[in-house]
Structure 1
Amino acid sequence: MLIPLLMFALVSSFTPGPNNIISMTQAQKYGYRAVLKFIGGVAAGCFVIMLLSGYFNFALNQWIPRVKIALDLLGSLYLLYLAVKIMRSKPQQNEDLARGMNSFWFGFFFQFINPKVILYGFTAISSFVIPVADSRIQLIMFSLLLTAVGISANLTWALSGRLLQSFLDRHERAFNIAMGLLLIYSAVSIFAN
Structure 2
Amino acid sequence: MGRSRVKRGLRRRQPGASVLLRDYLPLMLFVIVSTVTPGGATTLATASGAHFGYRRSLPLMAGIAAGLASMAAAAAAGLGSVLLALPALQLAMKAAGSLYLVWLAVRIGRGGKPRLDAAVHRPQGFVSGVWMLWHNPKGWAMTLGAAASFAALASGPARLGVLLGLAFGLAAMASLSLWCFAGLLFARVLRTERQWRCLNAGLGVLLVVSIVPMWLP
TM-score w.r.t. length of structure 2 = 0.67
1:158 lines up with 2:163 in the alignment: no
1:12-36 Cα deviation digits (max 9, x unpaired): 543132x434433443344434434
Give the letter for the 2:174 counterpart. S
1:184 lines up with 2:208 in the alignment: yes
Selected match of 1:147 from 169, 174, 180: 169
Selected match of 1:93 from 118, 134, 140: 118
Shift of 1:143: 1.7
8 A Cα contact 2:49 2:180, kept in partner:
yes
Give the letter for the 1:112 counterpart. V
**CA shift in 2, pair 1:34/1:113, >3 Å:** closer
Shift of 1:76: 2.2
8 A Cα contact 2:75 2:161, kept in partner:
no
Please name the residue that 1:124 is paired with.
142
Selected match of 1:10 from 14, 25, 33: 33
Shift of 1:67: 3.0
Alignment partners' CA distance in 2, 1:61 and 1:25: 31
**CA shift in 2, pair 1:142/1:61, >3 Å:** same
The size of the alignment, in residue pairs, is: 184
Larger Rg computed on CA atoms? 2
Unaligned runs of 5+ residues in structure 2 are: 1-22
Selected match of 1:167 from 170, 189, 197: 189
Alignment partners' CA distance in 1, 2:65 and 2:92: 26
1:96-129 Cα deviation digits (max 9, x unpaired): 223xx4xxxx22x223321477445412222231
Report the identity percentage.
20
TM-score w.r.t. length of structure 1 = 0.74
Selected match of 1:76 from 98, 111, 131: 98
8 A Cα contact 2:65 2:173, kept in partner:
yes
1:149-190 Cα deviation digits (max 9, x unpaired): 221221001111122213344311111111111111111121
Alignment partners' CA distance in 2, 1:137 and 1:150: 20
**CA shift in 2, pair 1:180/1:35, >3 Å:** closer
Please name the residue that 1:137 is paired with.
159
Q: Which has the higher contact order (CA 8 A, sep 6+)?
A: 1
**CA shift in 2, pair 1:70/1:3, >3 Å:** farther
Alignment partners' CA distance in 1, 2:108 and 2:137: 21
Alignment partners' CA distance in 2, 1:66 and 1:5: 33
**CA shift in 2, pair 1:28/1:88, >3 Å:** closer
